[in-house]
Amino acid sequence: MLTRIDLRGDRRADPGRALPRARLDVEAALAAVRPVCEAVRLEGASAVRRLTETYDHVHLDQLQVPAAALTDALARLDPAVRRALEEAIRRARLVHQAQRRDDVVVQVAPGATVLERWVPVRRVGLYVPGGLVAYPSSVVMNVVPAQIAGVGSLAVASPPKPDFGGLPNPAVLAACALLGVEEVYAVGGAQAVAMFAYGVEGVPRVDLVTGPGNVYVAAAKRLLRGVVGIDAEAGPTEIAILADDTADPDFVAADLVAQAEHDELAACILVTPSTRLADAVVDALGPRVDAAAHRARVDKALSGQSAIVLVDDIDHGLDVVDAWAAEHLEVLTADAAGVAARVTNAGAVFVGPHSPVSLGDYLAGSNHVLPTGGTARHTAGLSVQSFLRGIHVVDYSREALAEVAPHIDALGGAEDLGAHVEAVRTRLRDA
């Protein structure tokens, strides 16, 4: 089921290249989404309705979900699910509130200050996928940091479903209602990203689009980046587990299966120096895969871009997981906290046997919108900072400007930008 990759004795410069990962062919998808986005740009809401009928098999009389549908979805929500969402919201708010930055004034010299203001984007479009499964938890993960950042206008888009009367999944609508989001659109895919980027009749354009989606959503984000801000091009989900002999093989197997049930393109990697653990995990996987509700999906993910990777020791394992830069990394080792503190590349790190990725998906308080495809080497997960812009406000007195004028003379002269020098000198001449 799981391929074995033996890196023992091989401390290559980039061990991450030896590990499998699903290929998200955004470039190929661009050809499909380009006419979709162009149609929305040129034709507006009529194109969105036509494309929704083509791809989602839903005829929309209106793009926006009626307020009554949001209220009804919340009223009908299973009480246990409502309590779970409310607790997830509470915990997410605690964690994300701590990310909010204060404005800072720095006195560079007497009479010379630079204020750094943190200003929220004006309007955000939040995408909540609705393909294989519904993700009310993704509503929480997108909306909470945006609200804490102070974004004044939030709109959510999620694909409509014929089974739900042409509306998005009721659990998604209920989560929106819980969070006080009133502007929700029954639109999915590339046309939703284009709708937000360009604006259409009744839907003002946004400044930033966030949230995960399929390859067509990722391709639309790539195509429209610059027209609108984006958080990231999210690819198939992934987990790496760095474990030694102290790990419980059944815990490892359970977490591999849990990640694999997201998507047949999910990548699930166990990195370990222990052949005993590797063998025990394989034994534990069999019955868990057989019992999985989405067995075909799980089996395809585990037999595809997934592997057990054998390494010399935990130090070697750290090199491997840092090179692979997983969306989710579990550390199941002796001194797990100490090992986790040495990790440099991961979307989120889960420490010890009682911090599974499933906890982070729902109720850890951390955000589950995370970088995939190795982009954790340079990109962070969604946070309050994703919705803020730093603006420098420069305030110098005449005396402070005079103090640095000779340096501006020198640098402007070195760059042959005499007008720069003159713009300063003209302010300092005697009246």
The residues carrying an active-site annotation are 327-328
d(CA 13, CA 430): 62
Distances (CA, A) of 253 to 20, 108, 133, 308: 18, 56, 22, 11
Distances (CA, A) of 294 to 130, 284, 328: 16, 17, 21
Beta bridge partners of 396: 112
- How many CB atoms within 10 Å of residue 67? 12
